[in-house]
Amino acid sequence: MLIRRRRGYEIPESQVTPEGFVVNRRALFGAGAALLPGVALAQQAAGVVPPLPEHQRNLRFRPERDITPEREATTYNNFYEFGTSKNIVREASRMPLRPWTIQVDGMVAKPATFGVDDLIRQLPIEERIYRLRCVEAWAMTVPWTGFQLSELLKLVEPQAGARYVSFTTASLPAVMPGLRQSWYPWPHVEGCTMEEAGNELAFMPVGMYGKPLQAQNGGPFRVVFPWKYGFKSGKSVVRITVTDRRPENFWFKIQPSEYGFWANVNPEVAHPRWSQATERLLGSGERVPTRLFNGYGEFVAGLYTNLQRERLWA
Ligand SMILES: Nc1nc2c(c(=O)[nH]1)N[C@H]1C(S)=C(S)[C@@H](COP(=O)(O)O)O[C@H]1N2
Ligand SMILES: [Mo]
């Protein structure tokens, strides 16, 4: 299925790019003109979020249930930087999404800082419908647009000996009231192993429902590990570090007895305070059985066969 460009969503009227300008900009892409960086920079300086380029849905990843209504998925959020309620859209909308850069560093041959729009242009983007399971036992099914994490890592060439990858969320005290809650170990850092990062499911969304990713869902750029509890899928990422040491993740620091490093979904391993056997679907409110690895075992079970002594499920 072809995702058509849509214009004028979710950004203030004053920032909507006039059609003529969009067409000109695309002509410039085609020509690979030297003017392009200047145009892109001018747009960024104005805080304009460009529409996503056309892209295809990848049918290899089958949701096996209905897509969550867009309204539900974009208004019921966990994003503690903006507050601990599920209703943080208004606060998050104050976060400027351009310019936005991602620093990729650590044990890589070619450390680099990328502008988010450069990545969108350089890397193959596609749509994937993934299930997302929060550790709190609600779940949604979302069409993400993005690229595979492995494609980004290829650009920086991880070195031999690299074992983990960490993802750091933006810390913007001026727009993130949650950062004042100083008992939380900001910034939000989550991580995975190199093998997990190389798995084809590890995805970096820059869009959702065919549109650029909004702030409340981790715009402009986040990570998603669909087989793990949602807290591993860090939002609004500004830094990706390749390292040989296991990152101490945000939720592990808050409550190590409840939230570990691996956090793979397993219906048979209860959270210390509630069962994980079933989950509530956003939208319909239906309760459905939770699936091992959130239903992605065929892709990821092999990552864990030699890790039986690790606390893989919480
Ligand atoms: N930076 C940051 N990333 C975060 C969180 C957060 O509070 N801060 N919450 C996590 C949790 S608990 C979940 S379930 C998902 C929710 O993503 P969604 O709001 O897009 O559904 O984001 C995860 N990523
Ligand atoms: Mo979550």
Q: Which of 235, 252, 279 to probe ligand 1 with, by most ligand atoms within 8 A of CB?
A: 235
Tokens describing residue 295: 């239903």
Q: Which H or E element spans position 242?
A: strand 237-243
Please give the C-alpha separations between residue 149 and each of 144, 156, 240, in angstroms, as whole numbers. Answer: 13, 12, 10
Tokens describing residue 226: 């669909």
Nearest CA-CA partner of 158 in 124, 192, 204, 201 = 192
pTM: 0.88
> From the CB of 217, is ligand 1 less than 6 Å away?
yes
Cis amide linkage into residue 51, ω under 30° from 0: no
- Mean pLDDT per block of 10 residues along the chain (314 residues) reads 45 34 36 56 80 97 96 98 97 97 98 98 97 98 98 98 98 98 96 98 98 98 98 98 95 93 98 97 98 98 96 94
> From the CB of 79, is ligand 1 less than 6 Å away?
yes
pLDDT for residue 12: 34
CA of residue 77 to ligand 2 center, whole Å: 9
pLDDT in tens, 78-97: 999 999 999 999 999 999 99
CA of residue 134 to ligand 1 center, whole Å: 8
Residues 6+ apart with CB under 8 A from 136: 78
CB of 215 closer than 8 Å to CB of 9: no
> From the CB of 80, is ligand 1 less than 6 Å away?
yes
Residues 6+ apart with CB under 8 A from 214: 10, 74, 92, 93, 208
Q: What whole-number distance in Å separates Cα of residue 200 and Cα of residue 295?
A: 15
Go through the domains of the chain in sequence order and give each one's CATH number: 69-304 (3.90.420.10)
Q: Are strands 101-106 and 237-243 parallel, antiparallel or unpaired?
A: parallel
Q: Which of 78, 91, 135, 176 to probe ligand 1 with, by most ligand atoms within 8 A of CB?
A: 78
pLDDT for residue 38: 72
